[in-house]
Amino acid sequence: DAEITQSPRHKITETGRQVTLACHQTWNHNNMFWYRQDLGHGLRLIHYSYGVHDTNKGEVSDGYSVSRSNTEDLPLTLESAASSQTSVYFCASSGGGQGSSGANVLTFGAGSRLTVL
């Protein structure tokens, strides 16, 4: 079965360190997204991609970067982790492309819980 996997599921790091969260999907979806979930804020979009070599900033992109070198992967990098980046991070994917419409349902990974001390 197709799936979307995130790793690591849990990580503790220190302020100032670089951290990379991996996201791998086997749905062959064009669209991939990174969200963070914080209490009282729901899910907020960090970065997204509509295809290989395409990346776009979301609502809360400061301090984060992504790259898309193939269809399957969209790693999220925190260049210099800050305590404010302690959160649960969700990767998601969907079919179609930027102009897709209809019920392009977002399929989510299980989430990565990051703690920055």
Partner 1 sequence: AQKITQTQPGMFVQEKEAVTLDCTYDTSDPSYGLFWYKQPSSGEMIFLIYQGSYDQQNATEGRYSLNFQKARKSANLVISASQLGDSAMYFCAMRPLNQGGKLIFGQGTELSVKP
Residue position matching structure tokens 């070198």: 69
Query: CB of residue 14 vs partner 1: minimum separation in angstroms?
Result: 24
By the rule CB under 8 A, 22 interacts with partner 1: no
45 HSE (CA, 13 A, CB side): 13
DSSP string, 37-48: EETTTEEEEEEE
Query: CB of residue 89 vs partner 1: minimum separation in angstroms?
Result: 11
Which residue in 101, 114, 115, 117 binds partner 1 (CB under 8 A)?
101
By the rule CB under 8 A, 25 interacts with partner 1: no
Peptide bond into 75 cis (omega under 30): no
- With 0-12 / 13-18 / 19 or more C-beta atoms within 10 angstroms meaning exposed / middle / buried, residue 35 is buried
By the rule CB under 8 A, 53 interacts with partner 1: no
Nearest to partner 1 of 30, 85 (CB atom)? 30
By the rule CB under 8 A, 27 interacts with partner 1: no
Q: How far apart are CA 71 and CA 20, in angstroms?
A: 18
By the rule CB under 8 A, 67 interacts with partner 1: no
Positions that interact with partner 1 (CB under 8 A): 30-31, 33, 35, 40-45, 48, 50, 58, 88, 90, 92-108, 110-111
